[in-house]
Amino acid sequence: DAGVIQSPRHEVTEMGQEVTLRCKPISGHDYLFWYRQTMMRGLELLIYFNNNVPIDDSGMPEDRFSAKMPNASFSTLKIQPSEPRDSAVYFCASSPMDSTLGGNTIYFGEGSWLTVV
């Protein structure tokens, strides 16, 4: 089975440019998450969706960041305009809603390595 698919895997862009990161979750998963990993802050949740609806975006650093999930199989994280401090690894993840056992196991993509120069 295909896992969470992210693109691009690596991106180098100039400050001020728009960056769009893409994610295809595992088919049938109800939740989609965007995480960011930096040396300073570790892994932090930016936003997550349930059934395509944003549930909690309190981790989105500022208005330059936006995320959408137009359908169950696709999500984007956009940074406009990008800044050098946005350089990080951005992970997309998805999980099913396990109504029997409760909780969920979150499966991560391979990450998008963003460098803003």
Partner 1 sequence: AQKVTQAQTEISVVEKEDVTLDCVYETRDTTYYLFWYKQPPSGELVFLIRRNSFDEQNEISGRYSWNFQKSTSSFNFTITASQVVDSAVYFCALSERNFGNEKLTFGTGTRLTIIP
Does the footprint of partner 1 cover residue 103 (CB under 8 A)? yes
Does the footprint of partner 1 cover residue 87 (CB under 8 A)? no
**Of 19, 31, 117, 109, which Cα lies nearest the Cα of 65?**
19
Answer for the pair 107, 5: CB distance below 8 angstroms, yes or no.
Answer: no
Report CA-CA distances (Å) from 72 to 29, 32, 52, 53, 78: 8, 9, 6, 10, 18
* Single residue of 19, 21, 48, 79 touching partner 1 by CB under 8 A: 48
* Single residue of 7, 11, 22, 45 touching partner 1 by CB under 8 A: 45
Q: How far apart are CA 20 and CA 34, in angstroms?
A: 13
* Single residue of 1, 2, 42, 71 touching partner 1 by CB under 8 A: 42
Does the footprint of partner 1 cover residue 72 (CB under 8 A)? no
> Which residue is listed with tokens 């999980």?
95
* Single residue of 31, 52, 78, 81 touching partner 1 by CB under 8 A: 31
Q: Could you tell me the two tokens for 85?
A: 């401090």
Stretch that binds partner 1, among 11-19, 42-50, 69-77, 79-87 (CB under 8 A): 42-50
Binding residue count for partner 1, defined by CB under 8 A: 26
